């Protein structure tokens, strides 16, 4: 029997506890938490405002696309920039821009001047900042902890993000009826300010040194693509993630149409659906954070893709919001297990010199492609219905799973080499 002091020492040395002992990481995450919560409040506010102004799946999809699609175009440039400069500086400037965007949303909404076109333009403004924020975040977290703590550090980041998917929408469901949709934008101003202050207090020393790049910007982007394409584990997992992100993940962006048009549940229904997905995501994030290693994670990610397809079928098979909620929880769990699992494995497997460029490709797939999918699915839903459209998306997700399932062992080996 082990004595109690040893048990306490083992607890302190566990990956889930040890990662918080790194000061810069703790500061970063303590600012990121409020930012995540208020960003989800704003996202619910923007989505519901888009539906109220248009009552159109296509418009809701277009506004979601405006926020996410620039990442597909600007992502490679942002990733190369993060590899050659100080990501803390990129993060600070991105937060200043996001504060301005949230202030504009609040002022125009409070003044009663908002139109669907203005909302589209302000969402696009946010989307133009996101590639640089995302590239910086992908660089800062690994720089704040030792390599052995990468899996827990990355998955706690995801846990905060997806936990905020539960808290943020529920706060939005309270705030919108009581104070109006503009209150969600004002809260995001506060969240951005808190995050900016915590980033300003960081003093990382393990960041890429500034200096002249070895190749031009386009050459560095090409190197990142070539490196990813040649990797035996990253490439197939990115391909599977691309299919799921393009056809299944837009369900999250188009939830306003389900809440208002299918379930007839209003803004509170949208909050319940978003929060249900957040509960599943939080559970998956906590599991990954306490797991502490990446061995076998490729197989779990591939299985999660199958579960995601099945959960999507279940969600669209009913017109009752109560029946859809269990599927929303499973959907959130599967999406997070797949997406964050691939993110954690890639952070371990990638060479440090390629980190910014490869991780921005991940972000382009996981955050950028859903914008393309949301726009396409929103338009198609106007003709054949949103439930039938996502039933087709679920089938394509299952086909992506079938393509990789026989190769899961080889992919697992390729992604675990540096994480043993």
Q: What is the pLDDT of residue 10?
A: 47
Q: How far is it, in rounded angstroms, from Cα 19 to Cα 341?
A: 18
Q: What is the pLDDT of residue 391?
A: 92
Look at phi and psi of residue 353 and say left if phi exceeds 0, alpha if psi is from -120 to 50, else beta. alpha
Is 288:344 a contact under the CB 8 Å cutoff? yes
What is the total residue count of the chain?
Answer: 420
Q: What is the pLDDT of residue 9?
A: 52
For the chain, list residues with pLDDT below 50: 1-6, 10-11, 208-213, 419-420
Is 169:274 a contact under the CB 8 Å cutoff? yes
Q: What is the pLDDT of residue 195?
A: 93
pTM of the model: 0.70
Q: How far is it, in rounded angstroms, from Cα 334 to Cα 318?
A: 20
Structure tokens, 195:
């995050």
């Amino acid at each position: 029997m082990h004595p109690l002091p040893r048990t306490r020492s083992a607890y302190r040395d566990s990956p889930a506890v040890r990662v918080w002992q790194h000061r810069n990481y703790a500061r970063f995450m303590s600012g990121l938490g409020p930012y995540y919560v208020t960003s989800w409040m704003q996202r619910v506010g923007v989505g519901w405002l888009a539906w109220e102004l248009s009552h159109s799946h296509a418009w809701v999809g277009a506004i979601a696309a405006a926020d996410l699609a620039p990442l597909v175009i600007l992502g490679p440039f942002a990733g190369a920039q993060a590899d050659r400069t100080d990501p803390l500086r990129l993060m600070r400037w991105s937060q200043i821009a996001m504060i301005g965007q949230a202030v504009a949303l609040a002022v125009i909404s409070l003044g009663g001047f908002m139109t669907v076109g203005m909302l589209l333009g302000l969402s696009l403004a946010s989307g133009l900042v996101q590639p640089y924020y995302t590239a910086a975040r992908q660089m800062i977290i690994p720089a704040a902890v030792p390599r052995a703590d990468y899996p827990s550090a990355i998955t706690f980041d995801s846990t905060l993000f997806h936990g905020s998917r539960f808290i943020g929408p529920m706060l939005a469901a309270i705030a919108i009826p009581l104070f109006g949709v503009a209150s969600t934008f004002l809260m995001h101003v506060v969240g951005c300010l808190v995050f900016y202050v915590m980033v300003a207090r960081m003093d990382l020393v393990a960041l890429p040194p500034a200096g002249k790049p070895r190749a031009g910007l386009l050459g560095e982007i090409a190197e990142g693509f070539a490196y990813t394409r040649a990797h035996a584990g990253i490439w197939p997992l990115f391909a599977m993630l691309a299919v799921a992100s393009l056809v299944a993940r837009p369900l999250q962006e188009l939830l306003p149409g389900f809440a208002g048009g299918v379930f007839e549940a209003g803004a509170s229904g949208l909050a319940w659906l978003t929060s249900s997905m957040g509960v599943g995501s939080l559970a998956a994030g906590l599991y990954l954070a306490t797991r502490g290693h990446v061995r076998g994670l490729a197989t779990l990610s591939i299985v999660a893709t199958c579960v995601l397809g099945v959960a999507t079928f279940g969600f669209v098979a009913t017109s009752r919001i109560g029946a859809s909620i269990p599927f929303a929880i499973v959907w959130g769990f599967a999406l997070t297990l797949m997406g964050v699992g691939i993110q954690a494995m890639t952070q371990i497997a990638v060479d440090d010199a390629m980190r910014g460029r490869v991780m921005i490709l991940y972000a382009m797939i996981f955050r950028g492609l859903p914008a393309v999918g949301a726009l396409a699915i929103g338009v198609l839903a106007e003709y054949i219905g949103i439930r039938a459209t996502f039933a087709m998306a679920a089938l394509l997700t299952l086909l992506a799973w079938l393509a990789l399932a026989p190769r899961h062992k080889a992919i697992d080996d390729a992604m675990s080499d540096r994480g043993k």
